[in-house]
Amino acid sequence: MIETIKKLFIYSYLDPFLSFSTKKIKYSFLFFILLSVLSSLLDISVIFYITNIIFSITKGTPIYEKIFNLNIVIDYSRINSYLIFVCLCSSAYFIKVYVNFFNYYIGAMFGSSLTKKFLKAFARVSYDYHLNQKESQFISSYSEDISNSVGVINACFSLISLCITFFIYIAYIFFTIPLSIFLILIIFSLVNYLVINKLIGKKIYSISKKISLNNPIRIKKIIDFYSLYKVIKVFGISDSLLNTVLEKDREHRFLNAKAPFLISLPSITIIHFFYLIGVSFFFFQSKMGVFDVYLNVIISLGLILQRTLPISNQLIGSINTIKLKSTFLLNIYKKYKTMLISSQKEVSQNRKINYSSNKKKTKNLSLINFENVNFKYDKSNNYLYKKDLSFEVKSNTNYLITGPSGSGKSTLIDIILGLRIPTRGCLTYGDQFREISNSISYVPQEAVTIDDSFLKNLTLIDDNIIKNNEKNLTNILKCCLLDELILQSPDGINQKIGHGGIKLSGGQLQRLTIARALFRKASILLMDEPTSSLDSKMSINLIKNILNFASSSSMTILVVSHDSEIFPLFANKIQL
């Protein structure tokens, strides 16, 4: 069995456990082992005390025992012997309950830590890694792999605790107790288990309802986090948005920790309840002379067997649970290591201007300067652009980027945003750039929203940010032709837009994403097909408003578009 446990736990799961654990979890694990030893020793002490009380009652004389040079006197006729037993049994009960709770509590902490590290790693992966992932796989890793990984850790902790208890009991049987069977204990335990389980069942049902209500919200939050990947990446707000995801996740984890704790509570309660009731009964009945001289032996054997037999079954159950769920822990650990490698590549390419080998600072007035830049995908033999790109983007002006389908407009956007690195040539940024996420705001071609209010979709993180920006927000809403939409709704800017923005039209969603980008007050606004969902008249009015707003805010505008109606509005054109 030792070799099986060693193979199951140490070699397979120690590395994932240490990687996903915090210092608090590691120290808690050591404390858990100490508590398990203490709990087992207290259990044995209770059984030892019960056995000797039985002997004392049977013989009618006090029992004298010597343990580690300590003389112990157990006399059934003295009230202090009974009170000592009550204290000993109560201590064993509360320690056992706490060990059981602590197991699931550590599991909840581990699940929360694993989730945090997994999602943080995802927020930092390279853009290419994200493009190669499927949303269903990401959601499955979050909802299934993490939950089952927590199950593996709980099972491993249970296995360790059960092994400690099991071997201490075996040692006690070997040295002190003869072999026998005591069926009354089993019947008594089953009857009481059904009674207590019925009382606890209401509490478990209440927790189950909370979990069912919380889980859809939790899944919605993680879907929003995934869907907004590119915007989060460019805006550099992954940590802020991640906090809202982790808040719901933490609530879910600890609700799931309470349910199995309550489920396991009846069996612990029955054992110690039997100890108290049984000894109390014999203690007081002995004074009336109602005793069976052989009952002490049966009870002594039964007390041990009713503990060792269930422990044996639980040991097997824990091992099977580990075998069943181990794949999930190993899978998510493998994905986590892959994401860490990807994020390290992202750091080496470095979206921070100061560290990029392909980006060097310029001393002229250009915000961005392309010098013979071209790009080639990993699996392609040809460069994307027929001619190397050489142009500069100056401050407080506007540019239109056009070209046929497949000419590389979207890739050019990714290069400017720092999501892709040019294969050749030199891309330089102005001295005023510190980080791309602070200097460039971005409007994607497809409107990306979260299932929340209009305001939340505008800010994405903290709604309180508008308190000192109300005038600016009003100007932006007018600029994006959204002021009437806000006035028409009784909820105003707090109106709910529904999942995927279903309560808004395509044009309104597109203008919402433009307003979101303008609200960030970046030096450069980069827009990908910002008028694709608008009619000709509104397209022209919108672009005019944006250009005027940008001019007054010293903002540079870059627009990728096929809409010929807006071409004349731009001062500079880049043809791909």
Three-state secondary structure of 443-492: ECCCCCCCCCEHHHHHHCCCHHHHCCCHHHHHHHHHHCCCHHHHHHCCCH
Averaged pLDDT for residues 34-55: 83
- 567 touches 573 (CB < 8 A): yes
Task: Estimate the crossing angle of helix 295-349 against helix 23-59, to 10 degrees.
Answer: 180
pLDDT in tens, 304-359: 666 666 776 677 667 767 766 777 788 888 889 988 888 877 666 654 443 343 44
pLDDT at 93: 87
Alpha carbons 104 and 20: distance in angstroms, whole number: 16
pLDDT in tens, 214-264: 766 777 777 778 777 777 878 877 777 788 888 888 887 887 777 667 656
Name the residue with tokens 């980027």.
Answer: 401
Residue 156: closest CA among 321, 362, 387, 388: 321
In Å, how far are 11, 139, 267 from 306, measured between CA atoms? 33, 44, 11
pLDDT at 356: 40
pLDDT at 34: 92
pLDDT at 350: 54
- 437 touches 351 (CB < 8 A): yes
pLDDT in tens, 58-101: 666 766 666 655 666 676 667 777 788 888 888 888 998 888 88
pTM: 0.73
Residue 153: closest CA among 253, 242, 249: 253
- 299 touches 291 (CB < 8 A): no
pLDDT range class, residue 293, cuts 50, 70, 90: very low
Check pLDDT > 70 for residue 290: no
Alpha carbons 299 and 403: distance in angstroms, whole number: 89
Number of H helices, E strands in the chain: 18, 10
Check pLDDT > 50 for residue 365: yes
